[in-house]
Chain A
Amino acid sequence: MTTAKKTVSPFSRRRFLVGAAGATMALPFLEGLHRPDHASAGVDRARFAVWVRVGNGVQQAWDTEPESFWPRTPGALTTAGMMATDADRATSELAAYADRLTLLRGVNRPFGTPNCGHAESIPQCLTGAQVSPGTANDPRALGQSADWRIVDQLGTAGVEPMTLMAGPSSAYIAEGLSWRDANVRTPAERSPANQYMRMMGLTMAPPEVQRQLAARRLSVNDLVRGEMNALLGRSELSRWDRRRLEQHRDAIRDLEVRTMSCDLDPAVAGRIAAMTGPEGNDVRLEVVRLHMDLIAFAFSCDYVRAATLQVGEGNDQTMYTVDGSVLPRFHWISHRIYADGAEGETIPDAVSLHHQVDRLQLQTFAYLLEQLDSYASAYGGTVLDDSVAVWLNDLGAGPPHSGHNVPWLLAGGCGGRLRTGHFLDVDVQINQVLNTIVTAVGCTNDGGGPVDDFGDASLPSGGVDEIVV
């Protein structure tokens, strides 16, 4: 696919973001928002991983329902083949990236879902861990997620994985992909503007003012850290309090003034500024796309090495629009009835509608790939070549909401470490795919070798050899 490559922008191209948070927001570039120059510095190249989660299962073969998702035949993928023979399959939406895809059919959720198929599936997606029992719609993963594993081992100290969601904060089943540690969920940001502010800061500043900003913040940070250290020096603090305070102290970062930086497309900044009510149904996919813009931008600047994006609440209730028609709630479509449970009025042609939503979701994933592919890599190629972008559904097929054969679609070679251009039938657990991905990004086990033990200890070790270069 041929795209224009975005390049390093001079400082003067920085744009204002007007209107977000009721303020005129302009953009100095904080530490991390600077184009990496690892190639010339002689350090290992940066690699990135992003997971995009969609819910409610996909329209794949189940019971009497037809196969509408996967290509017909495992093997090599070609754009022509996906657009011709398999044009009726949802995955054909990714045809333009055929040679950079790995479609995995036969990935299985490792553990059951005693109370809620949605709420207890999502925490397993990136952890391969069991979930805490008996907590209904708010279960806890009993292990760390892969995004945190990556930033813990490879990231800049104090930088968290980007944890994003497009969906309402009032949801009964909320976000659940990212787990800092067992039982410690990472809250997801719903608003692209908030995430952008977090990445950028608030005050427009030429370099000399940046230096003033850095000096001011340093003096404030020093005072704040001094107080924290004094408090940490008190012997009566519990271990728990001490850990919390140390986490806070370690999160404080000082501003580094640099002269070279990368720049977000002003058109995207404008869309972010124009976005109101980011939790609303009608802007759901625009929010997804803006989050994707920010993820691609962040990777291009080596702001962070791992990101997650959850599309919709646990049982995605979005009413998607297809060809100008507003569909029933997606969760209802996945049940084939106008209801969340087992009984209700039948939705006519729900199978077809589910397929259309699948296509919509994969069109949106293609947007992410396009954005990643639009940034030139410091190592040649594009940021997509440096990355592995994963599209997954936490459930298999729609009506049964099962954990069998949950789709995992990978794109990007992760800096030459992953084979691409094929559709594989496998029989693996999620944790094995996670072993492969975190290893490809650069993580190692305690012995310096490939990560082979991610997830619950009871699960099979090792990765998916077929997709490793």
Chain B
Amino acid sequence: MRRSQALSIALLLSGCVGTVEEGPAGPPGSCRGECVDLPAPTSQIARLSHRQWENATRDLLRLTDPSGAVLLGDDETGLFDNAGGDLSVGASLWQDYQRESERLAERATIDPIALARILPADLPTDATARPRAFVTAFGARAYRRPLTSAEIDAYLVLFPNGPVAYPDMDPFASGVRISIEAMLQSVNFLYRVEVGAAPSGNVAPLTDYEIASRLAFALWDTMPDDELFDAAAASMLTNDVGLDAQIDRMLADERARTMIVSFHDQLLGTSHYLDLSRSTTLFPEFSSTLPAAMVGETAAFVSHVVFDDDGSLETLLTAPYTYVDQDIARVYGLGGTYGDAFVRADLDPTERAGLLTQIGFLTSNATSTESDPIHRGIYLVRRVMCVDLEPPGMVAPLPAAMGPPETMRQRVEEHTNTCGAGCHDTRINPLGFAFEHFDALGRFRDFERVAGTDLPIDASSSITLSTGPIAYDGAAELAHALAAEPSVHDCYARHWLEYTYGRASTALDERIARRAGRGSRLEGLSVREVVRELVTSPAFSERSTTPYEGPPLGGSAP
């Protein structure tokens, strides 16, 4: 076992935190044997997100394409879609689960080739033994653990109902069909159920199978594959060597690429890009296909940096290149010929750097006609620096421009100065002003045209970070400063903790996230290594015995 002793929170608070936070970053997994990560309270029945459900049904039934399910959307209260402890099943979603389970069970059994893909290789020829063999083998994949004898017996009672329900089918196939209908509606498929091991003090260790599920849904957004199941069966996930081997394998897999893109999509809110529009009179580069291209730009860039470049947060924030298709290239004003495929394009490193100067982010954080330094600044404060801004109270909208022409920056300064620090966080403006070279479509500009007058852009500012005051002129310089800022790396790691642990972070998680963040900043850990650091923490493989009693009221969506 990786750890068996019960440890108190008092021990954590009095000793290990200070050592870890002040000491060297250490290699990945540096907590092992030297300090203690305690798990935060977590739901014992984390419902699969719809993305996970879609992937898991595809993989369970060994489908060659997505299942194409129709599920009622979730009311997500957090930044990510996979906070399974906060996801519920109401009457409408249950109906969807039932309908889709029946549809998928038919799809998997009506075609002998499809059926053959999900039958165990050692299926007996004896007809009386086949139901048990199927339920035992397939059930273990559906429930993501071996079934108990009582569970097998329950399915063997259900199995004979198949031929009655589907008299036109082969009797065995019909039994398989009704079994799949039930398994896909089972609490053991729809949720990650973690009740397998007895508590030991403040924590309860997870079983190998529970760890396998946590890993698979964290790193792949789907169920474990056969190799991971084999590792669980061999108790390889409750020892460091076996666990590390699986994590390394999984992070090198293409499914991790998809997951990492999905993480950044949700962090940046790229799905909202699809709702963007601009007047083509003011922005002739805008087209109906541009919003989807904005999403594609970010996805292609993230995928390339994480898997084909050095994979670091620093590069995500500062890379002097991006990926463009013909729509995106037009906004950047690039020469040359571009088509529908995304290709790498180098950008002026004095103008642009990384994710935060991409078209989608800049357009999404703008009004329909103008730059929006306030909301660009708010995004950075909340999502890049992880500062919880206090509710501002009644917000007065930016007054319409009156009198002599003024830049957006001048107007925002006047407006927020009247408000004061009490209602407008002092970090918002200096961060947002750095992006003033970018208009409402993310086009670079040196002048802002106001009432027929070209006013020069001032994107210079300064801010005090944890390392002291910094000055910068423009978003590229700011991006490089942020890439060197400890709190930015800590924040990024905190987001990853929330994503991989499938829940909101708590104070108890801070030391884990900060250790990973420090590794990212000081040791040059790549994004995948940051993820590795998080999921190799003992806190990932255990659960707290303190009951999880739901999310904080109000949610945390931006």
Task: Give the B-binding residues of A (Cβ under 8 A).
Answer: 21-23, 112, 114-115, 132-138, 140, 158-160, 163, 168-172, 180, 182-189, 191, 194, 197-198, 201-203, 212-213, 215-217, 219-220, 223-224, 226-228, 231, 234, 236-241, 244-245, 247-248, 251-253, 313, 317, 329, 332, 338-345
Give A198's nearest chain B residue, CB to CB: B95
* A227 in contact with B89 given A170-B275, A343-B401, A345-B282 (CB within 8 Å): no
Query: Size of chain B's interface in residues, with CB distance under 8 A?
Result: 79
**Interface SS majority for chain B:** loop
Collect the chain A residues with CB atoms within 8 Å of residue B187's CB.
224, 227-228, 231, 245, 248
- Docked-complex contact B398 and A238, CB < 8 angstroms: no
Q: Mark B69-113, 1 if CB is under 8 A from A, else 0.
A: 010111101000000010011111111101100110000000000
Complex CA distance for A238 and B88, rounded to whole angstroms: 15
- Docked-complex contact B553 and A245, CB < 8 angstroms: no
Complex CA distance for A45 and B149, rounded to whole angstroms: 50
Complex CA distance for A183 and B552, rounded to whole angstroms: 10
B44 on interface, CB distance cutoff 8 Å = yes
* A240 in contact with B548 given A134-B392, A341-B368 (CB within 8 Å): yes
Collect the chain A residues with CB atoms within 8 Å of residue B92's CB.
160, 163, 189, 198
- Docked-complex contact B45 and A244, CB < 8 angstroms: yes
Question: CB within 8 A of B91: which of A160, A217, A317?
Answer: A160
- Docked-complex contact A227 and B368, CB < 8 angstroms: no
Question: CB within 8 A of B554: which of A132, A202, A227, A332?
Answer: A132
> 17 new A-B pairs (CB below 8 Å) besides A183-B77, A216-B181?
A114-B391, A132-B553, A132-B554, A198-B72, A215-B161, A223-B182, A224-B182, A224-B187, A227-B154, A236-B199, A238-B548, A244-B43, A329-B277, A338-B282, A339-B370, A341-B370, A344-B368
Complex CA distance for A460 and B164, rounded to whole angstroms: 60
Give A216's nearest chain B residue, CB to CB: B165
- Docked-complex contact A216 and B395, CB < 8 angstroms: no
Which B212-243 residues sit within 8 Å CB-CB of chain A?
Answer: none
Complex CA distance for A228 and B195, rounded to whole angstroms: 13
Could you tell me the distance in whole angstroms from the C-beta of A164 to the nearest C-beta in chain B? 11
- Docked-complex contact A224 and B368, CB < 8 angstroms: no
- Docked-complex contact B547 and A215, CB < 8 angstroms: no
Collect the chain B residues with CB atoms within 8 Å of residue A343's CB.
369-370, 400-401
Q: Mark B149-164, 1 if CB is under 8 A from A, else 0.
A: 0010011001001001
- Docked-complex contact B158 and A244, CB < 8 angstroms: no
- Docked-complex contact B277 and A339, CB < 8 angstroms: no
Collect the chain A residues with CB atoms within 8 Å of residue B70's CB.
21, 191, 194, 197
8 tightest A-B contacts by CB?
A134-B391, A238-B547, A132-B554, A138-B557, A216-B165, A248-B89, A170-B274, A251-B94
- Docked-complex contact A212 and B557, CB < 8 angstroms: no
Could you tell me the distance in whole angstroms from the C-beta of B275 to the nearest C-beta in chain A? 4
27 contacts between A and B (CB under 8 A): A21-B70, A22-B68, A160-B92, A163-B92, A169-B271, A170-B273, A171-B275, A182-B553, A184-B75, A186-B90, A198-B95, A219-B158, A219-B178, A223-B154, A223-B155, A227-B154, A231-B195, A241-B548, A244-B43, A244-B45, A244-B47, A247-B89, A248-B89, A339-B367, A340-B367, A342-B397, A345-B282
* A220 in contact with B368 given A212-B165, A345-B281 (CB within 8 Å): no
Q: Mark B543-556, 1 if CB is under 8 A from A, else 0.
A: 00101111001111
Give B548's nearest chain A residue, CB to CB: A238
Question: CB within 8 A of A215: which of B102, B165, B188?
Answer: B165
B19 on interface, CB distance cutoff 8 Å = no
Collect the chain B residues with CB atoms within 8 Å of residue A163's CB.
92
Which B45-74 residues sit within 8 Å CB-CB of chain A?
Answer: 45, 47, 68, 70, 72-74
B185 on interface, CB distance cutoff 8 Å = yes
Complex CA distance for A341 and B279, rounded to whole angstroms: 13
Complex CA distance for A39 and B29, rounded to whole angstroms: 70
- Docked-complex contact B91 and A201, CB < 8 angstroms: no
B394 on interface, CB distance cutoff 8 Å = yes
B193 on interface, CB distance cutoff 8 Å = yes
Give B364's nearest chain A residue, CB to CB: A172
* A187 in contact with B279 given A238-B549, A342-B397 (CB within 8 Å): no
